[in-house]
Amino acid sequence: MFINRSLMMAKEEEKNEKFALSKTKTITGSRRLAREKVLQILMSTEVSEIPWEESFSHIFFRKFNFGDKEEKSEKLLTEEEIFEIEADIPIIWEDEEIQFGRDLVKLTLKTMNEVNELIEQHTANWHLDRIAKIDILLMQIAITELLNFEDIPTKVSINEAIDIAKKYSTHKSGTFINGILDSIFIQLKNDNLIKKSGRGLIEN
Query: Rg of the Cα trace of the chain?
Result: 21
Residues paired with 28 in a beta bridge: 92
Distance (Å, whole) CA 154 – CA 151: 9
| Domains assigned to the chain | 2-92 (no CATH), 111-201 (1.10.940.10)
Among the listed residues 150, 154, 146, 158, the one whose alpha carbon sits nearest the alpha carbon of residue 111: 146
For the entire predicted model, the pTM comes to 0.73
- What pLDDT was estimated at residue 50? 80
pLDDT in tens, 7-25: 444 444 444 445 677 778 8
Q: How far is CA 90 from CA 14, 68, 99, 118, 143, in A?
A: 19, 14, 18, 37, 29
- What pLDDT was estimated at residue 82? 61
Those residues whose C-beta lies under 8 Å from the C-beta of residue 12, and which sit 6 or more positions away, are none
Distance (Å, whole) CA 191 – CA 98: 31
The answer to whether the CB of 99 falls within 8 A of the CB of 161 is no
Residue 122 backbone zone (phi > 0: left; psi -120 to 50: alpha; other: beta): alpha
Distance (Å, whole) CA 140 – CA 149: 13
- The residues of the chain scoring below 70 in pLDDT are 1-19, 61-79, 81-83, 85-86, 203-204
- What pLDDT was estimated at residue 59? 82
Q: How many residues does the chain have?
A: 204
pLDDT in tens, 100-116: 999 999 999 999 999 99
- What pLDDT was estimated at residue 86? 67
- What pLDDT was estimated at residue 99? 96
CA 54 to mean position of chain CA atoms? 15
